[in-house]
Amino acid sequence: MRLDIIDTATAESAAEGYSRIALGVEYKGARYRGWQRQASGVPSVQQALEQALSKVANEPVSVICAGRTDAGVHGCGQVVHFDTRAVRDERAWTLGTNFNLPHDISVVWSRPMPADFHARFKACARRYRYVIYNDPIRPAHLAEEVTWNHRPLDVERMAEAAQFLLGTHDFSAFRASQCQAKSPIKHIYHLRVTRHGQMIVLDVRATAFLHHMVRNIVGVLTAIGAGERPVTWAREVLEGRNRREGGVTAHPFGLYLVQVEYPEAYALPQRYIGPHFLTGYEALAD
């Protein structure tokens, strides 16, 4: 079935006796197979959220998210929507759902939406952060929330190389072989690399992302930061459009979906840009 048909059908269902509700969701992805519900029953964030919402609504609930995340990847700015006949206030959707969720998933806000809102198709930009703990000794804390890299990384080299990826490009060299996106053409608005003590943060905002795109970018930039490749290698990989020339895929634990942007008319709640343990760094405030 075509995606535009699905979008039309869900919008119509919301207009015929259903309410459309949007939620902001954050989660630690370490013990989940990923966002998407698994037929095998393997734990997923979507399944846990739908089960909790169904208890609050007293009816089956199915959610649609802004962007699916892989196994081990975290979310602190995920947006979902669902349609329901149940009448609940915003507090009930937030606190009631959290009461029924496991400790590593939280609903942070809820908002009734017009029938034409769609968490995925109405999103106009998405933003990820990748957090590296750069130290010779592996961390005992946040071990599943950051990626440890023991090699000294040159952040200035990484930031310089990142500039080659800005703008509109064919990102075929940074997409996974199983990626289902129709086009590899994406637009990156910003790609910043900054150091904060032992933490290195890669912050990237784009129209949309290919499967493994951020983790593959991180793999290229860390190789450059470690001195294994020249700064211009980022441009060579991009222009080569060959995934096999792009180096390793970075681990999932350091990756966070931190923000999804929508047209202002929807007036969705705005929270800080996560993850929460980075909020004290003023340089990351925007």
Active site residues: 70
The residue behind tokens 């990102």 is 171
Q: Is the preceding peptide bond at 275 cis, omega within 30 degrees of 0?
A: yes
Q: Which DSSP state fits 245?
A: G
CA pair distance 274, 261, nearest whole angstrom:
14
When computed from its CA atoms, the radius of gyration of the chain, rounded to whole angstroms, is 19
CB 184 within 8 A of CB 239: no
Strand locations in 135-244 (E):
147-149, 167-170, 185-196, 199-206
Q: Which residues contact 250 (CB under 8 A, 6 or more apart)?
A: 130, 147, 215, 216, 218, 219, 222
